[in-house]
């Protein structure tokens, strides 16, 4: 869905002489986690937009920027220095909304029922890697396929397209799934796909690698640079890896390839077991990031 457009229509509901907050808009979208995305999206607006972006303020009534202050004063909103006086009296939060993020979360949890966390592949010959980089709303995506045994390069593909969904923690799938599905069109499916994101090491145990693996019906592993949830069980560390524990369950691994200082976080996506996800990630690492993903990332940077 076009969440940007949905957000714009919410902002248009704020009447003259009233203000709302980034948090109220995030809640109208369906999840307070969207606050940062709301702020970054509206902060990018300029004078020419028909959207009343200036009517959205911080939760404490603070105003950022002289232009926003000037536009609010034109609507007779009382301001003292950089804050609206008695702003709680004029805050608007009665949005007409269907809470789209709540709907997307329900769909995510319904798909989770089809998740398979055991090795459900017959051969392991070609490993694919997908990376998506962004420049504003332009998405640059790349696919790299490599031989699992020799690490020889087998195939590459790149695309560029607009994204209609901002980055919101735990909703990465809805930003990248349309892009990756388009990227994977007319590609011979690899034995397994590595994705720049989490698998089951996710607050809902269904991150990008799991979601996409189920939708495309392909074995997948999530490789993430940052921890999204859980803790690394260092007391159970073995040489270059340690279990990742969330809600009392092992959901992945922290891996320090070749003695790197910063770990990567490996977790099964779909049709792959915990031990196998670690083994494949280790085998495909020449540097810190598994080679198919590293090469795919380099391709996205060239296309910017």
What the chain holds in terms of domains, given with CATH numbers, is 3-98 (1.10.10.10), 112-303 (3.30.2170.10)
Whole-number Cα distances in Å, 246 to 8, 137, 291, 295: 36, 33, 27, 30
Please count the residues of the chain. Answer: 304
Residues 6+ apart with CB under 8 A from 226: 265
Whole-number Cα distances in Å, 47 to 43, 51, 245: 11, 9, 48
10 Å CB burial of residue 16 (0-12, 13-18, 19+) is: exposed
Name 223's bridge partners.
Answer: 196, 266
Residue 56 gets which letter from DSSP?
A: E
Report the SS3 class of residue 44.
Answer: coil
Report the SS3 class of residue 11.
Answer: helix
Distance CA 50, CA 25 (A): 18
pTM: 0.92
Distance CA 184, CA 7 (A): 29
The residue-averaged pLDDT of 198-217 equals 97
Provide the pLDDT confidence category of residue 239 given band limits of 50, 70 and 90.
confident
CA 53: distance to chain centroid?
Answer: 24
Looking at the chain, the whole-number percentage of residues with pLDDT higher than 90 is: 88
What pLDDT score does 259 carry? 82
**Tokens of residue 297, six digits:** 């990332």
- Helix (H) or strand (E) holding 126, with range, is strand 126-135
CA 235: distance to chain centroid?
Answer: 30
* Lowest mean per-residue pLDDT among 77-91, 125-139, 261-275: 77-91
Residue closest to 145 by CA, chosen among 290, 30, 45, 260: 290
Looking at the chain, the whole-number percentage of residues with pLDDT higher than 70 is: 99
Residue 87 pLDDT more than 90? no
């Amino acid at each position: 869905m076009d969440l940007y457009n949905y957000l714009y229509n919410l902002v248009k509901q704020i009447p003259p002489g009233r203000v709302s907050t980034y948090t109220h808009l995030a809640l109208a979208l369906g999840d307070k986690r969207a606050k940062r995305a709301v702020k970054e999206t509206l902060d990018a607006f300029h004078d020419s937009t028909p959207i009343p972006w200036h009517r959205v303020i911080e939760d404490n009534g603070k105003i950022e920027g002289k232009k926003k202050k000037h536009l609010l004063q034109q609507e007779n909103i009382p301001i003292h220095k950089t804050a609206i006086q008695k702003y709680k009296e004029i805050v608007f939060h009665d949005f007409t909304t269907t809470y789209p993020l709540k709907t997307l979360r329900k769909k995510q949890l319904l798909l989770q029922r089809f998740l398979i966390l055991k090795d459900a592949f017959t051969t392991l010959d070609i490993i694919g890697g997908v990376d998506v980089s962004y420049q504003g709303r332009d998405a640059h995506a790349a696919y790299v396929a490599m031989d699992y045994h020799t690490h020889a390069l087998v195939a590459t593909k790149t695309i560029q397209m607009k994204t209609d969904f901002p980055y919101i923690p735990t909703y990465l799938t809805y930003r990248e799934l349309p892009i990756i599905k388009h990227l994977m069109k007319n590609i011979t499916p690899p034995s397994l796909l590595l994705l720049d994101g989490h698998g089951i090491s996710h607050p809902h145990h269904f991150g990008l690698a799991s979601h996409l693996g189920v939708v495309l019906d392909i074995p997948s592993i999530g490789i993430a640079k940052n921890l999204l949830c859980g803790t690394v069980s260092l007391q159970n560390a073995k040489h270059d890896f340690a279990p990742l524990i969330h809600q009392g369950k092992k959901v992945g691994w922290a891996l320090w390839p070749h003695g790197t200082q910063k770990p990567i976080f490996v977790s099964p996506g779909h049709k792959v077991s915990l031990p196998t996800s670690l083994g494949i990630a280790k085998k495909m690492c020449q540097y810190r990031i598994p080679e198919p993903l590293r090469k795919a990332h380099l391709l996205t940077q060239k296309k910017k």
